Structures are given as structure tokens and as C-alpha cells.
Amino acid sequence: MSGDSRAQDSAVKHVTGAAVYVDDISRTSDQKYVAIGGSSIACGQIESIDLTDVLASEGVTDIVTVDDIPGHCDIGPVFPGDPLMTSGAVDFMGQAIFAVLADTADNARRAVLSANISYHEETPLLDIQTAIENKIYVRPPHRMQRGNAQDALPDAQHRLAGVMTVGGQEHFYLEGQVAIARCDEDGGVHVQSSNQNPTEAQKLVAEVLAIPMNAVVIETRRMGGGFGGKETHANASCCFAALFAVRNRCTVVCRLSRRDDMIMTGKRHNFQNRYEAGYKSTGEIEALCFELAGQCGSSPDLSDAIVDRAMFHSDNAYYLPNVQIDGLRCKSNTVSNTAFRGFGGPQGMIAMETVIDEIAFSLNLDPLDVRKRNFYGETSRDVTPYHQQITDFNVPAIVDQLEIDSDYRRRREAIIAFNKSSAILKKGIALTPVKFGISFTATHLNQGGALLHLYSDGTLHLNHGGTEMGQGLFIKVAQIVSAELGLAVERIKVSATRTDKVPNTSPTAASSGTDINGMAALRAARELKQRLLSHVTETFDCAESSVQLSAAGVVLNNKVVQTWSELAHSAYMARVPLSATGYYKTPEIYYDRDNARGKPFLYYANGAAVSEVIIDTLTGESKILRADILHDVGQSINPAIDIGQIEGGYIQGVGWLTNEELVWDAGGRLLTDGPATYKIPAISDVPEQFNVALLADSPNAADTVMRSKAVGEPPLMLAISVWSAIRQAVAAATDSVAFPQLNAPATPEEILRCLSALKSR
Amino acid sequence: MLRFLLNDTLVESDELSPDLTVLSYLRDYQGLCGTKEGCGSGDCGACTAVVVSLVNDKLCYRSINTCIAFVGSLHGCQLLTVEHLASPGKLHPAQQAMVDCHGSQCGFCTPGIVMSIFALTKNHTRPAAASGQRDVIDQALGGNLCRCTGYRPIVDAARMALDACCSSSYRDTFSAEAAATIAQLKSLQSDDSTAHGAFYRPRSIAAVCELRAQYPDASILAGGTDLALLVTQRHRKLKQIISLQHVEELNYCTERDAHWCIGAAYPLADFQQHFEAQCVDIGALLKRFGSTQVRNRGTVGGNIANASPIGDLPPLLIALRAQLVLQSSVEQRVIAIEDYFIDYRKTVLRADEILVEIRIPQSSLPAAADGPIVKIYKISKRLDDDISAALAVFQLTMKGAEVSSLSAAFGGMAAVPKRAVALEQVLTGKPLDEAVLALADAALEADFKPISDARASEWYRLQVCKNLLRRLAVEVNDSRTATRVIDYVG
């Protein structure tokens, strides 16, 4: 049974412009604005910093450098390496050196331009290949293995090897990084921030200011998009705003311009993936070695976990009897890369899908058949490279149904015929599955908290640790509480996420928002419901079994005997505590990283997509003609919200794999520093035929909230089908002379390069 | 005095600085924060609002990017923002459809999307079921980026809003109150002031030239879609601005002496409407020229005068053998457009001159009797709202299988938009066959030494232009072979 397709909690406020984002918070007369001064080189040492002209600029009232930080300078989330400002070593272009405060944002941004900073410049490390060759890492390599791939490879019937590069991705949340800070009477600070991780921001602001955590409140009502880009990279804005607010005892806004945002904050890791596979004539894989090298940028940030997640997903849906996966965390003099929807998973998964495509190509088989032959089994062939047993594996069923629903086989035949008759335009089609592990791989983050207040008029205030970035978390959790309590959703107010309401929260990340916070809220609701039911049975002297709580109120023997406001008032008068907390920690999961074994994921979210594309072999231009998706969200709490995540994830993935290309120059300057040069998908990129369905009757076998499944990240990887289909089209255009070494993103230029390389063979 | 209607309130000011953007005015001066800043460069559409102006005594609704429009450009108009769309207790159909279709997720792009759909409903009177609807919707919303939804629900919402607004019985509040709005705008137009502060709004070319002489450092403002970037991206201050918006003698398109004569301040949106009937490929190019918001503000003259090597009109106009009329207070001269561009962002325009007219020979358009073939190929990463990595325009006539005349121009291939002289020579008098195309490749290499940048590498630019000659050959020799993915309907 599915839940209601209710609108996003703020839908009406969105369309009327009434939804308040951080920069919309009404201005106070003492409000001031920050701009950050970044380095103009990518690598070297600062020799001198002269800010005389900056201070003399119109409207400037304060300047800070590293010496003005009262507490910690390093705001690295897990490992050190992310100084809020630097006065010595420069590790990437745009690294913060100073910040100014001025009366307007314009004046602050203009003032920054007049800094005189001299450097001793060194040759920057910019390419991943050099880092791999010289073993220049931000964290040590990690290996997962099962069986013995090195021994099994030489014995295999067939072998292949290859290397591919996978591009990074700019988040391009429509609302850039922003925080507003006000100091309080105790020297503490209240920061409203567009932030996926308020608790982390609270800790870092406290550390930077050298004040206790209880002196800092972080509040996040909503984000104008996050996608992982506000998991750790929202914290610097909070720290700058807080630092200036406390120094100047005024309200301070730190909002990055789009350009600064794109230059100064991290992106999805680009990867270089090497693979070597041994397989049978049927296409069954016998042995596989991966080397997955992620370009982490200047610091560790979250890269250890991100490259781990790439490794965890390099099997995708396939059983690998002998497997060895090495993950490298390469350093470079570029901005530190960070979380982005999928968190490394997509970069690992695409390597696996490439191997499947290449095996199919070499054996002249339909790649779908090779995929099916390698799927994990139900009762055997069911252990991952990290030794987690696969259970409740529904990828084969999803793929079988989608194959029929999308008419894959007939269309593939039609495409083969089309390609024979079309000289310039060529088509391709691909069906690719997704199996994505759900849980933070850092076990301690798998906890959630919630706080419910029932007021004496029968309305409820709901807080939890998750943040709303558009994914519909607030309405989903409200629906969960509503279903448990029987209270109408309209009587439930979900308000801003605040560190003084629910403490020690985890980031809203890893697709975990509903799983952990929804479950915590459910438990709080259960607690509250129990108290109310006890009160009702006392009031009416009845058995609990004869009582129900419904939207109308208390139902006793099928008759409404109290409205919610009467119930709440009477419970209050009877001194029943009407506030409840709920707490949830994900059971069962663990990962022994030293031995690369464990059960890091509570369950897997699965889906599959069929994409049909057409390419122009003269220009490399491409277009998606049709997409069909079948995705498993367990028992959906809100089908409309879930479908929105699936469609949005798919198109975001399409952007990553087609047109979104990050370009740096030889000096380490990001050339694609705005939407004029960095092209995320626009409306015409959406296929004319776009069929999305939720897998029916599939309650999560794991004990999750309302038997639902997480949906935030997994659909992004459905877009691998587009990239794979493009490669099919390239192969068709070149008479399958060799396997197309297509890299991502498949821009028109990359497609033409790939075609040219094959044609010149 | 600057006078305009902000929603239903009359605004009169002499104080606002000339380079204040409409977005900044809304958010910082009026506290109307429903309109969002996503990029500050006119590329994302989050700041979209709708300008209502009087055209032939009718209300004309046009969406604009407020982040790159100066507040002075609102003079005599009404600006409608997202806060004003709903009636008390009732959402506008553009809003209701977005709610009903789950068209918002994070909501940050939503006000802009709502305003673009609103403008669509005011400009499009056929219900959504009509054919070609997706194309109309894509054009209206191609300048509005959404990072969350994947657009499918937004397309649905636009369809639903069109259906609601196009039903014969429906009139929204703006249509219902049109007479009163027209009266208000007329009274604004009776204002004969020609400036607020250092924002000048001359009414004649003569007055423009006079101001130009008086303020040699003043910025000439046409649509502002490029000029405003100096303010929002480079953080420059524009002390004086001379706006061409109210110079009626620069805003026209008329037939004269076998030419289409176009005023320099003729909006791109109007150019698109006029010329898509003259040439299919011009229509297709203009659909992909910036976005609707940009075409509503940007002008034909602006795209030439700013001398960008990647503007989309100059290669077209060069290939069509257009002429430019340059005028100062003392003289007027007419030059071939290909002679206008000297070097990167350098032109022959003198400090005391302005570009006043563009003349396109009617004989250069396919619509003419025995008109030539015109083929326009724009190459960019994205279909909507993207700057060309390369743009190729060919105007040619065939005599049997041979090219009897060819005019070819390219954008993105040099520091200036440029004619391909060597290529023209090689192809003229020859059939478009493989042997000739091999020679053409060498000619292209002689004509162009493109650079590598964020949009494409030198290799790609040259290779794709060589390949576009093959596309040209196929399209000219064999019209049955499909050559363009953009037009392909599977």
C-alpha cells in the first residue's frame, strides 16, 4: 500500500515566492556582508599580504586573516587539511586568504579585487595520472578482495583490460552557499545556513570561535538544493559569518557569488578507472581487477568514504567470483572534491558497466544478456567483494519486467535496422541496472533523532535531525507521524532544523534522511500515542483495544468522542507530558575496514533504466529519444515525491555523463566557472518519451520506516544507460571495428573524438 | 524621473543609481525577495519577472532576467513579480499547475519558472493539446534551469496552465484589469522626462549622438544582456548610461530598396518572429539564441556592436552580406558587416558613432524568388541557452550539381566572426563531392586557427567545421538523408 502523493511541504510558498531562503531573511539595519579573497595561484607559498587598498575600499569595515581566528583554523570534517584561511601554503586556486566585511555585498566583492598578495609559485599538480604514478595521495589506498583475481585472470578463457576517465560534476544548486549570523548576549552566535549538516557546522563554528557548542545554534529551514555540496562545503560560510558577527556585534551575511561558489567549493570527484577482466565465452565473469582512482583535490575532506563507496559499488549488480578492488585517493592542486549525490558510487558503478559492455562487445552478445548472466544469485553467487551477503535481490525481476515494458528487444532490432539505413545519424539503446547500498559507511552516522510537541489545541510541532533541500523529507516525515498518530497532516507543522531542538544529528546525506529521521519521528509518535491512549482509556474507562486515534479525534466503539483539540486539552489538564523524543540507530550494520569485510549496508535500493539515444556522427551531438525507468522504493510513503527524486536523479546523472564538463587551464584555473560555460541539463534535454514507474508490491524486506526504501541517490545512476547507449551508437557508426573507449562526460567533442579514433584504426 | 509600475504600485524616483539592476532593486530596496538570484549572469532564470509594456495600445508581456536588466529600463512599463501573481485566496493557473504537477522540489528556481509559464500563457492562445506544444514550452522555459526535478513535471505544469488559460471562458486578473493597466501605462508615457540621475533615455538618434559627445565614457545600453555583466560579474560601476530603448527610430524592421532594414535596437525576439518565415534555419538558430528572456531584452544591434567572437548573429549577417549603418552627429557611413570587426572585441566604430541600422539584402534569403540556400549550423554542448562552440553559416546557390556562388561565415573560429574566404574560393564552381571537400578542409585550415577554451578544443572546432561541410553537402545533394539530431523525431 502506498502513501498519499502530497505536495512538497512548501509547494504553495514556492510558487508564490513566500518561501524564505537564507538570503531572503529580512534585513536589519546593522547587517553587513562578507566577501572572501582567494588565492590567484594553484600551488605555492604566500610571500606577502597587503590589504591596505582593500581596507580603504568603499564600505569596508573589517578584514580578517588567519591571525584573527580565535580558535581552530582547520575545518576539515573528518581529517585535517581544510584551513578556513591560509597565510602560508596555497593548495588550490581560490583558496581563502582573507575575508572582508562591508556595508553591501557589492562593496565587499569589489573590495576583494584590490588585494595585493605576492606568492612564490610552484608547479601545480593537476592531473590524476601524475598523482597515481607518483603515489601522491590525500589518504592511503584501500583494497577489497574476495577469491583470488590475480591467480584467476591468467586461467580465464577470455581477457580484456582497459582504462577510462570519468569527469567530475559541479553541484549547481540554484541557491549558492549562504549563511547569516547574529551574535547573542553571551558571546554566542545563531547562524541560519543553507546546510545539509547543521551539527557539523555547529561544532566547527564553536571550534573556530573557541566557544562551547552550546553557545552556537545552527538553523536550516530549507535549502535551494544541496546534492551533497552543502554537506561539508557549507561550513566555511557559516564560520566566516559567525566570526565577523561576533567581532563586530552585528548581523553578517556570507553569500558566495555564483562564480566564487564554483571556484571555492568542491565538486564530484573525477575518476580514472582501470580494469582487467577474465570471462567465459558465455560472458560470465571469472575474475576482475579494478583500480579506482579518485581525484580528491587539495585535502581529504570526505574522500576516504567517497572512494570507499566507489569501491563498494564497482560490483553493481554482478557477482564477481574472484575480485580485487584498489581504491586510490589522489591529491591535486584543485579545490577539495566532496560529496555529490551517489558519493563515489556512480564513478565505481560506471566502471563495472563498462566492463560488461566490453565483454558483450567482444563476444558479439546483447549486453543485456551478459548483464543477466552475471547478476547476483538468490541462494548462491550472493556475496559481495566486501563479504556482505546479498538478500532480497530483486534486480533480475526489475530487469525482466522493464525489458518487457520497454519493448527492449524489438527496439534493439529496429535500431540495428535503422543504423544500416541511416548514414549520418546512428542510434543506440542500453538497459542498465542499479544496486545501491543504503547506510552511511561511517557506522556512527547511522542515527537519527526527532522531537514532537503536541500543544493543547491539538496541533503538533515536529522537528527532526534531517534537513529539507527539496527532496520532500519534511512532508514524508509529517506523513509518517500523521499515519502513526492519526492526526491530520494539516495539523502538523514541520519547522526548521535546529541544533537546539534535536542535537548531535547526522548530515542529511547518503539517501538516509527518511530512513533515520522518519524512524526516529515514528518512535516519538508511538511514545506520544501511547501516553494519549492511556489517558483516553482512563478518561472513558475503556479498553485500549476499543479506542482509535483518527483525523477526527478519539474514536471509541466507532464513534468520535473527542476532537483532537479536546483530547490535547484534556491530556494537558491531566498533566500528561505532551512532548516526546524519538531516537533510531540503524541495526545490524558494521564494517571492519582493516579486513575490508562486513555488512556496511542495511539493504540495497534497486532499479533499472532503458535509454535510447541518437548521435550525429559528423558533430558528436546527441539526444535522448526515450527513457523507461522501473525503480524500487519499497512501499512508497509518497509516490509523487519518490517519482520526482527518480526523474530528477536520472536527469542529473544525464548531465554528469553528457554535457557537464569541468575544464581547468594549465595553471589550475577553473574555466567553467559559471552557467555560461558549465551546462547542466535544460528543459529540451528531457526526452519526449519519459516513462517512470515504481516497482509494485515490494515492501522493503529490511525493517525500515513503513517498509520504504531510500530514493535520494540511487536514481542518478540510472543515467549510466544513456552513456552506454551512446557507446552502442558509436560502435554502430564504426562497424564495430573496436570497442569504443568512450570517456565521460560524452560531450559532442568526446563523441566525435571517440568516432575519429575508431575511424582512423 | 524614473516612473514605472511595480506590480500595482507607481514608483517614481530620481535617486536610484544608473547601474542598479532590477533584481537588486526588488530584493534590496523593496524587500520583494520572491525573485531569486541564482547566477547573476542571466543564465539560470531564477530571477525571471515579466515586463508589461504598451505595444499598439495592447499589453505586451515579456519575461526578462532581472539580474541583468537595469532598473532604468523599466521606465514607462509595469513589472510583474511572483508575489503579485495570485489573487487573494486563489493561485494563478501558472502557480496552481506547478503545485498540482509537483513542479517544485527545492523551490529556488520556482518563482522564475512560474513567471516564465505565466508569460507563456499570456503570449500563447492555443490550448496545450495543439501540436508542437513541447517546442513552445521548451522555448518559453529554455532559460530556466532546474536542478531538482528533471523538468518533466514542469513541462506538465506548463501544459496544464496553458489548458486552463486558453479555455474560452477564462480570463486571469491581468486580462480582466487590462483596461485600467493600459490607462496607467499611457499616463506614464505622457511623462516627457528623459533621464533619472545619470541614466539617460534619449528619444532620437540625434539626442543619442549629443549625449555621446557630452559623456564620452558613458555606456551605451541596448538590451543590456551583455553590458550588465560588467556590473554583476566584474563588479564595475557604470557612472553614466545612455539607453537606446526609447529611441523609436532605432526599433523597426522594414523593407527598403530590396533590403530588410533593421533598427539597431530591434529586439531579438521580434527579429526571430519576423525572419523565421524568411528562412527555416534562421528560425531554428534564433530559438537557440540565448533564452526567451535574453531575446526579449537583447537587440540585433547589441549582438553586433559588442563584437563578441561568439555572437550568433554576426556570422549569419556576414554570410547574408549584410551592411551596417554607422552614424555620428556629423556623418553617416555604410559598411559591409564583415569589415566591422577588426580584432578581439575591437571594431571600426568610432567613439562618436553608434550603430543605427542593419541592412540584409532580400536576395540573400531563401524566401526571395530564386533565393539561395541558407544553412545554419550551431554547435554547442547544450541545445537550450548555450553559446556556440562553433557556428557555420552558408549562403549558396547551385547550378546543377555545382556551387555557383557561396558566402560562408563562421563564429567561434577566430578572434572575430569571420568570412571563410579561402573556403568560398575552393567551393565556388565545384560540386560538393568528397574530392572537393578534401580541398575544402585545407581551405578551412587556411581560413581559421581556432583556440581551445572551456567550450571546445581547437581540434574539435576545426574538425566539426570540416564535418559541417559534409553535412552541407548531404543536405544540398540529398535532402532525404537525416542529418540533424535536433530535428530527429523517433
Residue B326: name the closest of B345, B351, B343, B308 by CA.
B351
Q: According to the 3-state scheme, what is the secondary structure of A359-400?
A: HHHHHCCCHHHHHHHHECCCCCCCECCCCCECCCCCHHHHHH
Residue pLDDT, tens place only, A686-712: 999 999 999 999 999 999 999 999 999
Residue A748: name the closest of B382, B284, B392 by CA.
B382
B485: chain A residues, CB-CB within 8 Å: 425, 614-616, 621-623
Of A26, A644, A688, the CB nearest to B134: A688
H/E element holding A182?
strand A178-183
Decide if A581 contacts A524 (C-beta within 8 A).
yes
What CATH fold (topology level) applies to the domain A31-123+177-255?
Aldehyde Oxidoreductase; domain 3 (3.90.1170)
Distance from CA of B114 to the nearest CA of A (A): 7
Distance CA A675, CA B47 (A): 14
Largest CA distance in chain B: 71
Give ranges for CATH 3.90.1170.50 in chain A. 31-123+177-255
Residue pLDDT, tens place only, A418-434: 999 999 999 999 999 99
By CB neighbour count within 10 A (0-12 exposed, 13-18 middle, 19+ buried), where does A567 fall?
Answer: buried
At a CB cut-off of 8 Å and minimum separation 6, what does A234 contact? A177, A179, A193, A194, A195, A196, A197, A201
Distance CA A674, CA A663 (A): 11
Q: State phi, psi for B352 to the nearest 5 degrees.
A: -100, 5
CB contact under 8 A, A174 and B106: yes
- Identify the bridge partners of residue A293 per DSSP, sorted by sequence position: A272, A328
CB contact under 8 A, A682 and B385: yes
Residue pLDDT, tens place only, A338-368: 999 999 999 999 999 999 999 999 999 999 9
A224: chain B residues, CB-CB within 8 Å: 36, 106-109
A153-156 long-range contacts, CB within 8 A, separation 24+: A153/A276, A153/A278, A153/A287, A153/A289, A153/A322, A154/A278, A155/A278, A155/A286, A155/A287, A156/A277, A156/A278, A156/A279, A156/A280, A156/A286, A156/A287
Model pLDDT, residue B189: 83
Q: What is the mean pLDDT of residues A652-677?
A: 98
Distance CA A290, CA A275 (A): 5
Find the distance separating the first CA and the last CA of chain B, reported in whole Å: 56
CA distances from B297 to A75, B37, B174, B290, B420 (A): 44, 18, 22, 11, 31
Distance CA A437, CA A434 (A): 10
Residue pLDDT, tens place only, B186-198: 999 887 789 999 9
Model pLDDT, residue A26: 80
Residue pLDDT, tens place only, B213-245: 899 999 999 999 999 999 999 999 999 999 999
Residue pLDDT, tens place only, A179-228: 999 999 999 999 999 999 999 999 999 999 999 999 999 999 999 999 99
Q: What proportion of chain A, given as a percentage, has pLDDT over 70?
A: 100
Of A672, A675, A683, the CB nearest to B41: A675
Class of domain A447-585: alpha beta
Residue A662, CA atoms < 13 Å, CB-side half-sphere: 25
What CATH fold (topology level) applies to the domain A271-441+593-759?
Aldehyde Oxidoreductase; domain 4 (3.30.365)
- Identify the bridge partners of residue A664 per DSSP, sorted by sequence position: A670
At a CB cut-off of 8 Å and minimum separation 6, what does A631 contact? A398, A606, A607, A608, A642, A646, A692, A693, A694, A695, A711, A714, A715, A718
Q: pLDDT tens per residue, chain B (490 residues)?
A: 999 999 999 999 999 999 999 999 999 999 999 999 999 999 999 999 999 999 999 999 999 999 999 999 999 999 999 999 999 999 999 999 999 999 999 999 999 999 999 999 999 877 655 545 899 999 999 999 999 999 999 999 999 999 999 887 889 999 999 999 999 999 998 877 899 999 999 999 999 999 998 999 999 999 999 999 999 999 999 999 999 999 999 999 999 999 999 999 999 999 999 999 999 999 999 999 999 999 999 999 999 998 888 999 999 999 999 999 999 989 999 999 999 999 999 999 998 899 999 999 999 999 988 999 999 999 999 999 999 999 999 999 999 999 999 999 999 999 999 999 999 999 999 999 999 999 999 999 999 999 999 999 999 999 999 999 999 999 999 888 999 999 898 7
Reduce the DSSP state of residue B53 to 3 states and report it: strand
CB contact under 8 A, A18 and B138: no
- A445 grid coordinates: 552516522
Q: State phi, psi for A708 to the nearest 5 degrees.
A: -90, 170
CB contact under 8 A, A425 and B385: no
B141: chain A residues, CB-CB within 8 Å: 683
Distance CA A483, CA A519 (A): 12
B153: chain A residues, CB-CB within 8 Å: 644, 647
Of B108, B138, B468, the CB nearest to A225: B108
Q: According to the 3-state scheme, what is the secondary structure of A388-440?
A: CECCCCCHHHHHHHHHHHCCHHHHHHHHHHHHHHCCCEEEEEEEEEEEEEECC
Reduce the DSSP state of residue B205 to 3 states and report it: helix
Decide if A121 contacts A333 (C-beta within 8 A).
no
Give ranges for CATH 3.30.365.10 in chain A. 271-441+593-759, 447-585
Distance CA A82, CA A99 (A): 16
- B93 grid coordinates: 493557473
